[in-house]
Structure 1
Amino acid sequence: MDANWRWAHVIDDYVNCYSGNAWDSSYCPNGPTCTSNCAIDGVDKASWGGTYGVTSDSDGIRLVFVTAGPYSNNIGSRVYLMDTDDLNYRMFKLKNREFTFDVDVSGFGCGLNAAVYFVEMDRDGGYAEYSGNEVGANFGTGYCDAQCPHDVKWVAGEANCNNWKPSPTDQNSGAGQYGCCCYEMDIFEANNMAASYTPHDCAITGFHKCEGTECGDNDSGERYDGVCDKDGCDWAAYRLNQKDFYGPGSQYTVDTTKAFTIVTQFITSDGTDSGELVEIRRKYVQNGQVIENPPTNFMEMGIPPYDSVTMDYCNDIKTYFGDINDFELKGGLKAMGDALDRGLVLTMSVWDDHFAYMLWLDGQYPVDVPADTPGVMRGPCPTDSGRPADLEANVPNSAVRYFNIKYGPIDSTYPH
């Protein structure tokens, strides 16, 4: 369980250091003081399900959106796969490999995100690198991603309480002075209405503590000035004009009312581990049938029928959509391949979106741009959907199940 969800309290006491969406200034006037005063707790067996809404069986895990705990409501969760020593994260080197899992998003609708992805966190959660870290991966420390988030409470071994601003809309979150950036490979960001997979590059390697312009913050107008590519090169069937491919019901090629298998393949230039990453290919399996990724559907606009993420696809589709091609500027697929060589941490989460209501995934986004503008329609969800207050009140029991996770050589982990 990620450190952000764990109880932060005064050392050897029951007093909260962080409560609601704010730090207690008497214990946390600044980062170093807060770090010396406060600690995070472990997670006992009962708390996994009773507090965080995470349960497991022999095949996988189930994450519930809202869990009414003994002291407060828990919203979402973020968990990692540990290595066999239970002290370090399991590192995946995916180049010339495929990653496969089964998923059930039948109970996850508009405005929610069931995410399976890889990020370039430190294997030990920063335990060896940062002196303030008296615990590491086994306490869920060291998170980072390509959005360089500021809501992470502990950054590089220190409390991120400096200039902390509680969120005006999220009772549990806020933003501190520092962000935490790293490469991110989104395998699956989805609900039962829309889905995408997206590589995100960075101009740095490994975990990076950012401040100011290098964080690329949206609210400062510096999204494309930061060290990471926040847009990435996304593959989303609905956005690519394949609107009947993925959705709830038998009329869709992938019927999200039932579980299905997702296969993501990382193809190299010469079919070896040392080759350059040149393609990220997607397959689905449902009802015993292998379903190939659909091609882009813009032939009349001169866009070839791409059916995977390649640099030609990224360059052509970003030009057609009028998007800034920060993915190419940050190194494209070659740079992502280098990150895959270094090793990434498997992350699984569920969350709602207080900034854009998840419309960037499943609806019209931006909402002030005409719907017939290329690339604006990302899914069928209405523009008034995805409000966190509505979701938390009306569909708190929404849940996703991830199971049968596999990893191996190309075409080795699924029936075909």
Structure 2
Amino acid sequence: DVPCSCNAALYWVSMPGLTAEGVPARSSLDNYYCDANYVGGVACYELDTFEANQNVMQVTAHQCEGEPNGYNPSCDRAGVSRSTQKLDIAGVLSRPMCASDECVVDTRRPFRVSQRFVVDASGTLVAIENEVRQVNASFAFSSADPGIGNMTEYLRGMSGAMRDGMVLAFQVWGGRWALTSWLDAWTRDPLLCSPGESCPESSRVVYSDIAIDSLSG
């Protein structure tokens, strides 16, 4: 129920963002929401641990100017990411996920995502390892996989924000194809998503059985 031009997101933000004077900044949404893309007009650190639709899943880290518990005048909107569609899965099922039984994970049916936050000896976040599982099929990918940008360094920069405490947010959003082309552009089959598609208002996702086993490093 989350096709092209849509994004089902589970992510962490350093709410509330602060003003230059160090007080909580109220956004244009009439609350204290903030993120790395200035939605509502307030910027703050953001770690996207699950951005997905029926064809792709992505993990993205965004860094900001300033300390996580301070004023952030600007952030890296694009961030550094790793996507399932950059995987090279051997065998008959060559595509990681799609709304079909031809893929490793058929997103028309429920599936489970497990993530492990890897820290070094100093307790600094250096990697996020992901496993997507459905019945007897699964695939894995890591933030340490080859790709554009140094995601390890970006995750190191997120460690302070996570130590200070971040808010877990859930969303489903979308619009015209151009709005989510950063996600849909990684689909292997160009016929899956076309520039003319828009996210339908009927799009929905069910998050369930969410658990955090340990935050110790």
TM-score normalized by the length of structure 2 = 0.79
The SS at the match of 2:85 is coil
Report the counterpart of residue 409 of structure 1 in structure 2. Answer: 214
> Would you say 1:383 and 2:194 are equivalent positions?
yes
Aligned counterparts of 2:33 and 2:97: Cα–Cα separation in 1: 31
8 A Cα contact 2:45 2:64, kept in partner: yes
For 1:12-411, what aligned pairs fall within 5 Å after superposition? 107-122=1-16, 129-130=23-24, 141-149=31-39, 152=40, 179-204=41-66, 205-206=68-69, 208=71, 210=73, 227-241=74-88, 244-270=95-121, 275-287=123-135, 289=136, 291-293=138-140, 307-310=141-144, 313=145, 317-318=147-148, 325=149, 331-354=153-176, 356-363=178-185, 377-380=186-189, 381-387=192-198, 391=199, 395-409=200-214
Whichever residue aligns with residue 201 of structure 1, its letter is: Q
Structure-2 change in CA distance of 1:332 and 1:357 (3 Å): closer
Displacement of 1:332 in angstroms is 2.1
Distance 2:183 2:35 in 1: 17
Q: Closer, same or farther in 2 for the Cα pair 1:327/1:206, shift >3 Å?
A: farther
Q: Which runs of 4+ in 1 moved over 6 A?
A: none
Question: SS of the residue aligned with 1:347?
Answer: strand
Give SS of 2:65's match. Answer: coil
Using the TM superposition, give the Cα deviation of residue 354 of structure 1 relative to its aligned residue in structure 2, in angstroms. Answer: 4.7
Q: How many angstroms does 1:208 deviate by?
A: 4.0
Q: Are 1:113 and 1:352, in contact at CA under 8 Å, matched by a contact in 2?
A: yes
In 1, are the aligned partners of 2:54 and 2:107 still within 8 Å (CA)? yes
1:357 touches 1:385 (CA, 8 Å); kept in 2? no
The structure-2 alpha-carbon separation of the partners of 1:180 and 1:268, relative to structure 1 and needing over 3 Å to count, comes to: same
- CA–CA separation in structure 2 for the residues paired with 1:240 and 1:327: 16
C-alpha separation in 1, matches of 2:101 and 2:11: 28
Q: Aligned equivalents of 2:206 and 2:70: distance in 1? A: 29
- State the aligned residue count: 203
Amino acid at match of 1:383: S
**C-alpha separation between the residues in 2 aligned to 1:326 and 1:114?**
25
Counterparts in 2 of 1:180 and 1:209: CA distance versus 1, 3 Å: farther
Question: Which one has the largest radius of gyration?
Answer: 1
The superposition leaves residues 322-371 of structure 1 with CA deviations (integer Å, 9 ceiling, x where unpaired) of xxx4867xx522111221111110100111145823121113xxxxxxxx
- Structure with higher helix content: 1
Secondary structure of the equivalent of 2:193? coil
Change (3 A) 1:341 1:108: same
Seen in structure 2, the aligned counterparts of structure 1 residues 259 and 345 have a Cα distance that, compared at 3 Å, is same
Please give the alpha-carbon distance, in whole angstroms, between the structure 1 residues aligned to 2:150 and 2:134: 35
Aligned equivalents of 1:254, 1:120: Cα separation in 2: 32
CA deviation vs aligned residue, 1:233-291 (integer Å, no higher than 9, x gap): 21112134556111112221111011111111111113xxx52212111012321x473
The runs of 5 or more residues in structure 1 that have no matched partner are: 1-106, 153-178, 211-226, 294-306, 319-324, 364-376, 411-416
SS in 2 for 1:402: coil
Separation in 2 of the partners of 1:239 and 1:353?
24
Output the aligned Cα RMSD.
3.0
